């Protein structure tokens, strides 16, 4: 699972989240530091309103929490979601001695990024791609 630090860096870089069933997230609020939640049609639903997106906690998922604004949640994207966000820039994923290397392109120029974990390698590549577009 992607670290909070990398997830926060992605959020700060402007990567947006449209919650779907199966998405993992944490709540940036005291008392929830160790809790990871998962959007589910049965327990945590995403509700779209004109004023923004609300994550609604149904039933007994969390007795002290009915809902939370999307802005208070930090998305922890899965590997496949990070790869999808790389879109047509993604070239390959290779296992290395120290972890994984993602090959991708920035403005058509081949480049790569490495990390010990697959999700981190994808996230680092996405960060570089987003920052290059700014």
pLDDT digits (tens, 9 = 90+) for 35-70: 898 887 666 778 788 888 877 776 654 455 566 788
Question: For the chain, what is the domain count?
Answer: 2
Q: In terms of residues, how long is the chain?
A: 134
Find tokens 């290779």 and name the residue: 94
Q: Is residue 3 part of a domain?
A: no
Domain residue limits at 63: 18-76
Inter-residue contact 39 to 20 (CB < 8 Å): yes
Pair 71, 84 in one domain = no
Pair 84, 126 in one domain = yes
pLDDT digits (tens, 9 = 90+) for 6-39: 999 999 999 999 888 899 999 887 887 788 988 8
**pTM of structure:** 0.81
């Amino acid at each position: 699972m992607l670290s909070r630090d990398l997830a926060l860096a992605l959020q700060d870089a402007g990567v947006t989240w449209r919650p779907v069933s199966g998405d993992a997230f944490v709540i940036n609020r005291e008392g929830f530091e160790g809790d990871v939640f998962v959007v589910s049609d049965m327990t945590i639903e995403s509700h779209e309103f004109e004023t923004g997106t609300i994550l609604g906690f149904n039933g007994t998922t969390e007795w002290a929490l009915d809902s939370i604004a999307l802005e208070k949640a930090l998305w922890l994207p899965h590997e496949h979601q990070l790869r999808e966000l790389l879109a047509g820039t993604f070239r390959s994923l290779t296992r290395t001695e120290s972890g994984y290397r993602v090959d991708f392109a920035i403005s058509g120029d081949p480049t790569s990024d490495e990390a010990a974990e697959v999700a981190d390698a994808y996230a680092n590549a996405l960060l570089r791609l987003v920052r290059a577009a700014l």
